[in-house]
Structure formats: structure tokens, C-alpha cells
Structure 1
Amino acid sequence: MELKIYHMYPDLLNLYGDLGNVTCLTQRCQWRGIKVEVVGFSMNQEVPLEDGDLFFIGGGSDRGQNIVYSHLLKYTNVMSDLIENGAPVLAICGGYQLLGEKYIDAEGNDVPGLGIFDYHTRSEGGRLIGNIIIKNNLGLTPETLVGFENHGGRTYHDHQSLGRVVVGYGNNGQDQEEGMVYNNCIGTYLHGPLLPKNPHLADHLILKALERKYNLKELAPLDDSREYLAHEKTLHLYSP
């Protein structure tokens, strides 16, 4: 088996070590004997998105996000079709915001998003910063996901959330919900990077990609005892 992982705009969207998410996906595939090709998709490297099996979109500066929007706009329909057809997508922070309708800046100006999903993000003054723990809505074990958030925008939507906030702020610091899930697309504010801290979420994305491509229903288990011990230690440190 083999998977093609598309790293979207690695030169423009790579804050807070988010490159580690792609490294984690690659390594956990290779440990299972799954061949991986990582494809960097950017302005100077356009390849057919339809060939991808799993997609990662990281966070970036406002300038980087504006550049990405201008370039990715022509691929909106392709990305939307991939999501509707079950392609796994992980979009973090700026990538998460980019999939929505718009970002409303501090002056009240609308900064357009791709509009794949009907949510918006608003700058409301101050940043939501710190370690975060959520209880996931995906049915994963362990039920907790941990990470780091640092975002000025507040996102509001009616989609299923990735999880319920235990410690931290989440989407907007008000409704105690974090992230968004639609089919196999996940949007979240969890940096850190997210997947090395939560290998069970990495495996969820890998399995969904393999299920879509090969109809595989179960992954070969890995010995994650050290990783889960670190996860539990992290939970202890984050908890109030």
C-alpha cells in the first residue's frame, strides 16, 4: 500500500512546528510498511490535487494566508469535491479559517475565505493563547487531544466540533467547542505540532485515507506506550 500526502503551501503556512504533523504521518505509515510520498503543493509547484490521498494545511501569517487564498481560489471546487468524497484533510489555525467564508478583521473589513464551509472568523481584540485539552468527538481512545493555541480570531459555526474544551479557549472562548469536523476534514486551532502529541489522531487520518483508497478497515497496531505515557504526563502538566 502507498499514500500520497499533500503538504499544502509548506513555504507559506508553517507556524509553531506544524511541519511535524507531516513528519508524524509519514513515520507512522513507514513503521507499518506503507509507502509514503510527500508532495509539496505551492505557487511554484502545482500538481493535480486529485492525485492526493491525505491533505495537510498549516497556519501562517496574515500575509501568507492572503497569498494562499489568491492562489488556491482557483482550486476551490476541486478541494470541495475531495472533501465531499471523503479525502482526509487536516487544516490548522489559518488553514482552518481559510476553509470558511471570511475573516472579519479588527477594522470590520471582510477578508474572503474559500467558502467551502459556511462559517466565519472574527477578530474581537486580544489573543487566545495557551495550552489546550479537549475531549474529542471522533470516538478515539484516549478521548483527550492536547495542543497549543495562539489565535486572534474567533470562529463560529454550527458544524460538529472536533471536541469539547476541558482546558483552554477553543474556537471562540465562549461556547467551549474546539475545531470542526465534516466527513474526514478536520479544522482546528491546535498547534504544537498536533499529531506527534496525539498519535491516535494521526492514525485516524491515516486509516481514513487507506479506507478510501483500499477499503482497509483497521490499522496494524504500533507500540505507543512511550507516546501515551508522554501524553498522560502532558495532561497532568496542563490540568489546573
Structure 2
Amino acid sequence: MTTTTPTFPTAPEDGVPAVDAVEPGGRGEIHLVQLYPRDMNIYGDWGNTLTLKRRLEKRGYAVQLTDYNPGDSFPADADLFVGGGGQDSGQFRVMEDLQKIKPVMYELVADGVPMLAICGLYQLFGHEFRTIGGEVLPGIGIFDLTTVGGETRLIGNIVTESEKFGTIIGYENHSGLTRLADGQQPLGRVVSGDGNDGEDGTEGAVTNEVIGTYLHGSLLPKNPVLADHLIATAVRRRYSHETLEPLNDTLSQKAREVARNRPR
């Protein structure tokens, strides 16, 4: 298990009230874990981790950032988990380890720990992923869904509407066709794009505080409401409060506008 400390560019902060200066770590520390970044981290998924870290730091929280890969000691004390997509080969490399940590993952989900699973990891958070070649990768069943490999890639900008998070904008690139079981809550309904399977109009899934989605792009830089929900949930569990000061999201809003109006 390794700990990484990335650096961040400074964005302009015009037109929006600045957050009061807080000494780094003055409000406490949040433990953020990347699940399987060595194998499940493509199509800009690293940007989700950077967004969470930066938005926490801007509000005065220190961030302990940990990479968890197969064979590492599992960081069960983490406050927030995020994992990305990967090729089928990457999923094969992590699936056995995912089964090993399944019991503790169930405990964390039941305890309300926030998690974000993108694309390939989203599929493995379901019951199984059956490749187009017929191979079956067992999942851990956090989401009540199954995925089968399709012959056509579902790719391009996508817009969805969520009852909880409003308009969610991202970029999908997958050939897996995910079917939700009756009663499984989707993350949103497709406005433009394909979503889970290109047919039923759903995108992603939500169980407790775990969010699964096919949206890359990265997802969180263009959807600060979703990023702040994950942060507020983590802060509430650790420190019994969830009031987050507003940040300047001018650049995020511009990115959303461009992505929403760009043809697939």
C-alpha cells in the first residue's frame, strides 16, 4: 500500500466569495483511498481523486491519500473510497482481491461510508460481469445488478437527471450492458446518451452512500454537487457535521456547459 501526494494547479477564483482561510488540517483529517489505481484508472478517473482532495483542502481538511492495490493491507479506517475503470484484463487482476475484502466492504457500506465506483469497478460492485467471450468475473454484490459484454461500444458525452443531484454530466465509454434488478435505485435517468444498457433509460446505481456510474471524463470536476455530497458524507461520519463552505465553481460550470452542448 502506497501513499501519494500530488500537486495541484491554482484556478482563478473570481466572482465567488472565497472560503475563509483555514490553516491546512485545521478542521481535521480525512482518509481518502483510491481502490486499485494500478489497474483501474483510465479515461481520466484520477481526476476524481484530485477533485476530492483539492476540495477538502480548500475547506481546511488535511487529506491522507492512500493507494490500495491487490495484496496491500486494507485501510478499513478510511473515510472515503474512489475507484475507476479499466480494461477486462485489469478487472481480472483485481477480482480475487475484491472477493477477499468483500466482508469488510459490506461492513463499510452498512456503516454509511461514501464510495464512488466508476465503470469497470462499478461492474464488479454488482453480482457479476460476463465478458463477450463468456468468461464470468464474480462481483461483490453491493449493487443488485449484472453486466454482460456487448458488441458495440457506448461512447460519448452523456447527460442524466438525478432526483438527488440534479443534472449530472460526464463521458461514457463502455461495451458492458448493465441491468439493474427490480428495486435497485439508479443514479439517474438518461437525457442524452446511453447509460447502463442503452435501452432502459437508467444510468448508474446507488446503494446506501455508494455511487456507481459509467461516467468518466472526469466525473467530479464537472459535477461539484456530487463531489461535495461525497465529502459532506465523509465529514459527517468523522466529525459529526457536514456544513461545507461554497467554493468557486466557475470553471466547473463552464466545463459542464461545453460538455452538455458538445455532440456525441
After superposition, the C-alpha distances for 1:15-46 in whole angstroms (9 at most, x for unaligned) are 10111110000000111111111011112532
Equivalent in the alignment of 1:192:
217
Equivalent in the alignment of 1:170:
195
Equivalent in the alignment of 2:56:
29
Equivalent in the alignment of 2:84:
58
SS in 2 for 1:231: helix
Q: Larger deviation: 110-119 or 78-87?
A: 110-119
Superposition CA RMSD, Å: 1.5
| Residues 43 and 71 in structure 1, CA contact (< 8 A), matched pair in contact too | yes
Equivalent in the alignment of 2:11:
none
| Residues 204 and 211 in structure 2, CA contact (< 8 A), matched pair in contact too | yes
- Distance between the aligned counterparts of 1:56 and 1:107, measured in 2? 29
Q: Larger deviation: 31-40 or 228-237?
A: 228-237
Equivalent in the alignment of 1:83:
109
When residues 182 and 115 of structure 1 are mapped into structure 2, their CA distance, relative to the original with a 3 A threshold, is closer
- Distance between the aligned counterparts of 1:109 and 1:171, measured in 2? 20
When residues 23 and 169 of structure 1 are mapped into structure 2, their CA distance, relative to the original with a 3 A threshold, is same
Equivalent in the alignment of 2:227:
202
- Distance between the aligned counterparts of 1:226 and 1:61, measured in 2? 30
> Is 1:6 aligned to residue 33 of structure 2?
yes
Which structure 2 residues correspond to residues 1-240 of structure 1 after superposition, within 5 A? 1-47=28-74, 49-138=75-164, 140=165, 143-157=166-180, 158=182, 159-238=184-263
Unpaired segments ≥5 residues, structure 2:
1-27
When residues 200 and 45 of structure 1 are mapped into structure 2, their CA distance, relative to the original with a 3 A threshold, is same
| Residues 80 and 115 in structure 2, CA contact (< 8 A), matched pair in contact too | yes
Instruction: After TM superposition, give the deviation of residue 119 of structure 1 in Å.
Output: 1.4
Instruction: After TM superposition, give the deviation of residue 192 of structure 1 in Å.
Output: 0.5
1:132 corresponds to which letter in structure 2? I
- Distance between the aligned counterparts of 1:41 and 1:111, measured in 2? 20
**May I ask how many residue pairs the two structures share in their alignment?**
235
Q: Larger deviation: 4-13 or 108-117?
A: 108-117
| Residues 137 and 161 in structure 1, CA contact (< 8 A), matched pair in contact too | no
Equivalent in the alignment of 2:6:
none
When residues 194 and 38 of structure 1 are mapped into structure 2, their CA distance, relative to the original with a 3 A threshold, is same
After superposition, the C-alpha distances for 1:122-160 in whole angstroms (9 at most, x for unaligned) are 12321111110111232x3xx211111111111111311
- Distance between the aligned counterparts of 1:217 and 1:37, measured in 2? 19
- Distance between the aligned counterparts of 2:216 and 2:252, measured in 1? 17
Unpaired segments ≥5 residues, structure 1:
none
| Residues 157 and 259 in structure 2, CA contact (< 8 A), matched pair in contact too | no
Higher helix share: 1
Once superposed, which parts of structure 1, at least 4 consecutive aligned residues long, lie more than 3 Å away? none
- Distance between the aligned counterparts of 1:133 and 1:198, measured in 2? 11
| Residues 14 and 60 in structure 1, CA contact (< 8 A), matched pair in contact too | yes
Instruction: After TM superposition, give the deviation of residue 107 of structure 1 in Å.
Output: 3.6
Identity across matched positions, percent:
45
Larger radius of gyration: 2
TM-score (norm 2): 0.85
| Residues 76 and 116 in structure 1, CA contact (< 8 A), matched pair in contact too | no
| Residues 161 and 191 in structure 2, CA contact (< 8 A), matched pair in contact too | yes
Instruction: After TM superposition, give the deviation of residue 114 of structure 1 in Å.
Output: 2.0
SS in 1 for 2:245: coil
- Distance between the aligned counterparts of 1:137 and 1:80, measured in 2? 25
When residues 117 and 236 of structure 1 are mapped into structure 2, their CA distance, relative to the original with a 3 A threshold, is closer
